[in-house]
Amino acid sequence: MAKQFISVAQKQFAAIRGKVTQFEGDRDIIPGFSAIPTPGHTPGHVALRITSGNASLIHTADVVHTHTINLWHPDWQPVFDADPEQAAQTRQAILAQIAADRSLMFAYHFPFPGIGHLRPRTKGGFDWERMNWQFQA
């Protein structure tokens, strides 16, 4: 499956070659936006840290896919991770850091609005504290 991911990515990135800047490691992209290396899901996968003053939001991208399975069992390895063992280690590390820092987390695979906080569980893993979202017309 990893070879298939790489092949598809190579074809897609060929179309934008010369229009993007590649980078490796933890780095600032623009002020307030920095990349966090999150290896395992796909080669070069990153999460984004968005900061404003003392507040931060971590956009986990494809580090987590479901709010129950991946949070309660970050060590479980879904079939769509290119390097399942690395992805599980990455998932555990970034989720633990988000919980410890009490950063907001944005996970687009989670139910709307996909923004909330993590709380460590006594049994291991994490509970999701969804942010309440209200629209005012």
Q: How does pLDDT run across 55-95, given as a tens digit for each residue?
A: 999 999 999 998 889 999 999 988 888 999 999 999 999 99
How far apart are alpha carbons 46 and 9 in whole angstroms?
A: 15
Asked if residue 6 is part of any domain, the answer here is no
Give me the pLDDT at residue 1, please.
Answer: 62
Asked if residue 120 is part of any domain, the answer here is yes
Give me the pLDDT at residue 24, please.
Answer: 76
Residues in the chain with pLDDT values less than 50: none
Quote the tokens at residue 73: 């069992």
Q: Is the pTM of this model over 0.85?
A: no
How far apart are alpha carbons 130 and 110 in whole angstroms?
A: 10
| CA-closest candidate to residue 48, choices 34, 38, 62 | 34
Asked if residue 60 is part of any domain, the answer here is yes
Q: What is the mean pLDDT of the chain?
A: 91
CATH number for the domain that contains residue 86 = 3.60.15.10
How far apart are alpha carbons 17 and 40 in whole angstroms?
A: 23
Provide the domain count of the chain: 1
Give me the pLDDT at residue 97, please.
Answer: 97
How far apart are alpha carbons 128 and 16 in whole angstroms?
A: 37
Domain that holds residue 68: 31-130
